[in-house]
Structure 1
């Protein structure tokens, strides 16, 4: 990243085990079009900017909780994400790892759909 590109990130403290964290790498030529960026949590960040055509755009980057996380933590993540989507610019890009499971059903796993 010696070329001047911009990294916006959030995560846990260096002293903690890495259990969450998100990042967004922005080309240095887009810097002048960034109007705002927001740290929401170690699992969510949002960037507001204008496209080359001048349209307002929000980019939200998310890392969802895993199945074994506490219900309150999972609910809080989804509520925060929904709040940010609701308050986003007219155009939105949502990037994320939502820790979903797809595929054939089994006793141990709870996948989404039978076709994956």
Structure 2
């Protein structure tokens, strides 16, 4: 079940990851998943960027929010998703 998205707006935007626990949906475009792998912590940052025809303001807001999330990561991370939109 999509979280944070109105039923009539499903499939318009979003990110997804099937995981048991320890995830945070930052907004409809960015999800952060922390994985403990042995003694290591790995952070997955999953993002769905704005379409290239979106207003520059929308694009800037997304990339600023994404950078804020990446700045919070301690240790190793993998950035996943569709950063180019459609």
Question: Which category of TM-score, normalised to the shorter sequence, fits these structures?
Answer: 0.7 to 0.9
Higher helix share: 2
Paired residues, what number? 86
Q: Name 1:93's counterpart in structure 2.
A: 78
Q: Calculate the TM-score normalised by the size of structure 1.
A: 0.63
1:16 CA displacement = 2.1
Partners of 1:60 and 1:95 within 8 A in 2: yes
Contact kept, 8 Å, 1:58 with 1:92, in 2: the verdict is yes
What does the per-residue CA deviation read over 1:3-35, in whole Å, with 9 as the maximum and x for residues that have no partner? Answer: xxxx9x656321126321111123xxxx4xx5x
Aligned to 1:42: 28
Instruction: State the secondary structure of the residue aligned to 2:78.
Output: strand
Q: Bigger relative contact order, structure 1 or 2, given CA contacts below 8 A and separation 6+? A: 2
State the structure with more CA Rg: 1
Aligned partners of 1:89, 1:11: CA distance in 2, in Å? 26
Deviation per CA, 1:20-64: give whole Å up to 9, x if none: 1111123xxxx4xx5x3211111110011211x210111111011
Superposition TM-score, scaled by structure 2 size: 0.82
Aligned to 1:21: 14
- Which among 5, 18, 43 is matched to residue 12 of structure 1? 5
Q: Which runs of 5+ in 1 are unaligned?
A: 1-6, 102-116
